[in-house]
Chains A and B, each alone.
Chain A
């Protein structure tokens, strides 16, 4: 899978980023209608996602690989529950317009504005996070930077080529009578699953 950066984890500012910013991040994310779930281990995500599947009646899911998605075991769990899950690039491309839910990983959160930063170079990552009506994003809860400026500093450190997106709540518009309405062209729901369990094996 193509990445703008091979190791985002190493780029986070030591001492500045961390789980101490989680509360502020969660507050700001929820303020813009992001649904946030905080779990200790990735495998706890299964129940959350299955509940959403039940609630929405989702039948087709597209999921792109990331360490947390893998650790959650969600792809197999969904399949066991009779859901069709696309994980290969060509399957995603072929079926994205009928997909009910996209699953992907994001690199870090920004406390100041409740955004998450996604390495969106891989086409499949962009497809699953921008076309289906619902997008579920996995994030490590310790990977949160304080401000927009810190996030730009990280990107500035290595970025020459690629595609990076910040996602902040669901797709929205206020173009008719300034009435806030969600789900125009992008997902009408953004769900973030913040996982404490560190992917390099360390506890948080």
Chain B
């Protein structure tokens, strides 16, 4: 498969797949509630997640030692162990074993690793009958599909489609009645269980200290596959190894709760050594010992284990929680948002190791970076950060596409770039076509019927500051204002309001004109070199002004500047200068809230009778990176003219996320529409947020979908409510 994927086309198809959309839409709504409920009787979920994470980190640190011990213990108990470096090795081992033992029929319990190495086709080619016995896996094997979810492999199909596959397989008409189809499965596969010569299973964990494996299932197929056939083959990836039996506890407490919102799955078995089986010979039934093989699969896993950054993927216990809360997965499912085998954000990283960089490159752009997954991942994996890191490696390996590097050439030449933006404000049209647009900052992208993208302002903020900035007598602080491109060129009025609110705190504002793009649109592509140039430009722009603090009213800008020292760490001098800037940067709403608090202005105001309803949208990065979500709400509630009404899922991504919103407008718009629906339900007149990126998106949605509402940045609201308007 050397052809590049046509992601746009794939996305388009899935967006029109009503069965999929319906299934995933309902799941996305129901899962978080069910998960929350399943976690109710855990006293301290955070501590438990932390213990899982540290146990898995410790395991990967000494993976070679664990693997050796696991192998040694297993052999001691009579298990045969084979280490498969590649999928080919694994398949050859099983094929040889089948030949030697005369295996004709195999029953399989769920194993993603076997999907990864395409085991079934290899066995079938050799004339061996292979039956997937997990209902979902059986369905997709009949359909000829790949799993679209790690836990619910057939979530993309409905009962009618399943009944068709069943009817075809069983050669009789099967009613699309779910209970009946489940019973049909029981009967059909029971034969296979009773006749099989070999059972193949995965493992949810492998214990180094005693060579045992743990198997977690709901249907009972795992117990049957390990009880009836005379040979048991376990396919286990290195990432499943844990040091001791006791280390299974955090896995067992978190896996079922996160995967299926169960406190425990129906069956959990711990197996070690050859267990008894019954064999029927010419002289009747006799008890014998089962023959057990462990295949320890590498296929890229050890490369990840020995990588300082990517060893983090070992914290994954394959629960699928990250998929269940992912807004992009909800829209396109696990056939599009996946590589060869693994889906979603975590799948993006796993694919780079099990399938290679090309597989990663084909679909990594689908991570919108909203970080919702990081709030549920039981192993606390920073999935979006790992994806960004992998993008950096991919650019280092293969470079940027030519067109993109041309654009970055433009963007890193600030004067030229800003000149272009000014021209765009007069003649916006020429910039809305051609290859450039997709990669330029979001506000140069096109329009759709459900979202208008804001025009470039006639006068950017940088040309207005002279009128806004006032001389402050004995200022409490000297504040540098980093506006970011969007506030500068799209929402200059908001920029003015930021200045007014700060000046109202009796602080002096300076706006270094040399400032430019924070670098996020560039670093998001994985490029480091252009990002460094943009960072240095801003560092230079600010270091001439001796400011006490640097305020940015856009969370991404704050995050980006705080990352400058890390970005420039190769050069100690640049790093030191970057650190100076990074240490000073603060996010606007939290800064103002703290200052208001000091003077008693933050306390909740008594509502006026005619208070205006306002709802607040949490920007992904403001909440999940900077941890700021209380402050903006407190600021709103400190004003007597507003009544704060919460929307459902206020912290769900609006669909913008920088260039993503333009590049993948077909995904961005449905996310926006969902958000607008939730906004409408609140009955609020005003939608507030504290992020200029979200503002672009929400403003666009309001224009097209709810023109009666107003979009405001927290700075706009605060500035309007400053008592002495003349003074500002």
Which of A's residues lie within 8 Å of B, judged by CB? Answer: 2, 28, 32, 89-90, 93-94, 97, 110, 112-115, 120-123, 126-127, 130-131, 147-149, 152-153, 155-156, 159-179, 181, 183-187
Contacts and interface: CB of A to CB of B under 8 A. Distances in A.
Given A89-B278, A148-B264, A184-B219, A161 B178 contact: no
A161 B219 contact: no
A165 B152 contact: no
Contacts of B276: 2, 121-123
Contact of A123 (B26, B221, B249, B287): B287
Contacts, number: 187
Interface stretch (B179-187, B312-320, B499-507, B626-634): B179-187
Instruction: Report the 10 A-B pairs with minimum CB-CB distance, sorted nearest first.
Output: A186-B220, A175-B136, A156-B245, A113-B263, A113-B264, A161-B273, A184-B219, A171-B220, A93-B278, A185-B220
Contacts of B220: 130, 171, 184-187
B269 A163 contact: yes
Nearest to A110: B264
Interface stretch (B91-99, B188-196, B522-530, B542-550): B188-196
Contacts of B133: 185
Interface in B540-581: none
Given A130-B227, A167-B266, A162 B273 contact: yes
A193 to B, nearest CB: 19
B55 to A, nearest CB: 12
A162 B275 CA distance: 6
* Most chain A beta-carbon contacts within 10 A, residue among B182, B185, B190, B284: B182
Contacts of B193: 185
Given A89-B285, A156-B245, 20 more contacts: A93-B285, A97-B190, A112-B263, A114-B263, A115-B264, A121-B275, A126-B227, A148-B252, A152-B245, A160-B210, A166-B264, A174-B260, A175-B153, A176-B159, A178-B155, A183-B182, A183-B183, A184-B135, A184-B182, A186-B223
B152 A186 contact: no
A173 B245 contact: no
29 contacts: A2-B276, A28-B263, A32-B263, A112-B41, A113-B263, A121-B275, A123-B275, A149-B253, A152-B246, A152-B248, A156-B246, A159-B272, A161-B272, A162-B271, A162-B275, A163-B271, A166-B264, A170-B266, A172-B266, A174-B152, A175-B153, A176-B139, A176-B162, A176-B182, A177-B159, A181-B178, A183-B183, A186-B224, A187-B220
B246 A153 contact: yes
B388 interface: no
Interface in B245-292: 245-246, 248-249, 252-253, 260, 262-273, 275-278, 280, 284-285, 287
Interface string B136-167: 10010000000000001111011100100000
B416 interface: no
B21 to A, nearest CB: 13
Nearest to B277: A123
Interface string B65-86: 0000000000001000000000
A159 B41 contact: no
Contacts of B266: 32, 167-172, 186
Interface residues of B, number: 67
Interface string B295-332: 00000000000000000000000000000000000000
B270 A186 contact: no
B158 A177 contact: yes
Contacts of A171: 218-220, 266-267
B27 A178 contact: yes
B244 interface: yes
Given A185-B220, A186-B267, A152 B155 contact: no
Contacts of A94: 285
A139 B55 CA distance: 33
A22 B179 CA distance: 32
A122 B287 CA distance: 10
